[in-house]
Amino acid sequence: MLTDFTPATADFGWYVQNDNVMGGRSEGDFEQTPGELIFAGSTNTRGGGFSSIRTRPVQLDLSKHDGIALRLKADGRRYTWQLQTDARWRGRRVSYWADFETPNGEWSTVNIPFTRFFPQFRGYKLDGPELDPAQITEMGLYIYDKKDGPFELRLTSIDSYSADTP
């Protein structure tokens, strides 16, 4: 368990970054209560078209695991989980993204294998470097599905998982 948003688990120091950093008009924010983080707002594709929340710097070695597991309830839209390491491309930090679909209005656990994460820089898919799960320095949650309108995702836990765990 990485966090279940209670005082007994890690506080990752979440913060918001919306597309207004590049002239966009999307709005998003989060509310964290004991046991839940709610990420909500509205995307506007005239501009960047995204909203995100990210963690402050972390040091996670998840090399003995196969992916990230999210326990959530959302709105049926596509979201993106983001990881960062110290990897660089032309001297710039590389982000690793994996999209996932959400069922509308139902609690579910979404498993995102590390093999699904692809390297990207400012929205451009890169050929490499590959994700090293032993060197995770940041996590993030994005909505960047090229649709206008309201969104809401309720997150009750972030965990890592192994394929051989029953």
Mean pLDDT score, 76-105: 95
| Integer CA distances (angstroms), 65 to 45, 94, 150, in order | 36, 21, 34
Say yes or no to pLDDT of 166 above 60. no
Q: Is 6 within a domain?
A: no
Q: Is 1 within a domain?
A: no
> Reduced to 3 DSSP states, what percent helix, strand and coil does the chain have, rounded to the nearest 5?
5, 55, 40
What value does the mean pLDDT of the chain take?
94
Q: In the prediction, which pLDDT does 165 show?
A: 58
Sign of the C-alpha dihedral computed for residues 44, 20, 29 and 56 taken in this order: positive
The domain of 60 spans 15-161
Q: In the prediction, which pLDDT does 115 show?
A: 97
Q: Is 9 within a domain?
A: no
Give the confidence band of 45 by pLDDT, cuts at 50, 70, 90.
very high
The pTM of the whole model exceeds 0.75? yes
Write the pLDDT tens digit of every residue in 107-127: 999 999 999 999 999 878 999
* Whole-number percent of the chain with pLDDT over 70: 99
Q: In the prediction, which pLDDT does 4 show?
A: 96
Q: In the prediction, which pLDDT does 40 show?
A: 98
Q: In the prediction, which pLDDT does 80 show?
A: 98
Q: Is 76 within a domain?
A: yes
Q: Is 10 within a domain?
A: no
- Asked if 49 contacts 43 with a C-beta cutoff of 8 angstroms, the reply is yes
Say yes or no to pLDDT of 47 above 90. no
Q: Is 106 within a domain?
A: yes
For residue 15, give both structure tokens: 């913060």
Q: In the prediction, which pLDDT does 163 show?
A: 84
Q: Is 123 within a domain?
A: yes
Residue 48 phi/psi, 5-degree rounding, is -75, -40
Total structural domains within the chain: 1
Cα distance between residue 94 and residue 39, in whole Å: 24
- Asked if 50 contacts 143 with a C-beta cutoff of 8 angstroms, the reply is yes
Q: Is 7 within a domain?
A: no
Assign residue 72 the CATH number of its domain. 2.60.120.430
Select from 161, 158, 142 the least CA-distant residue to 81: 142
At 100, the amino acid letter reads F
